[in-house]
Amino acid sequence: MPVEKGERFASQDIYIDYPYEEVMYRWDHVTRQVFVRFYGSPESDIPVPHANRLYNDALRFGEEISTQHYHQGRARQ
């Protein structure tokens, strides 16, 4: 189910898991930046462009997850 980018993106951080590509994303609503975390790796310090294809695929086909799930991470398959 797609992750809606409505009003919630303006008021809270959003965490997305996209198992098909073994990647998770974090939307930081304060800085309005997107950060990526591939399975088995720490979060990247470099923000992801909003037009990034993989990020937009994750919005369309991934699922929203909890803050805890994101920070816990996932192992590569």
Residue 25, Cβ density class (10 Å: 0-12 exposed, 13-18 middle, ≥19 buried) = buried
Helix (H) or strand (E) holding 11: helix 8-11
Distance CA 38, CA 27 (A): 15
Q: Give yes or no for residue 5 having a pLDDT over 80.
A: no
| Residue 36 identity (one-letter amino acid) | V
Interval 16-64: pLDDT, tens: 999 999 999 999 999 999 999 999 999 999 999 999 999 999 999 999 9
Predicted TM-score (pTM) above 0.75? yes
Per-domain boundaries in the chain: 8-72
Give the pLDDT of residue 1. 65
Region of 60 please: left (phi>0), alpha (psi -120 to 50) or beta: alpha
pLDDT band at residue 10 using 50, 70 and 90 as cut-offs: confident
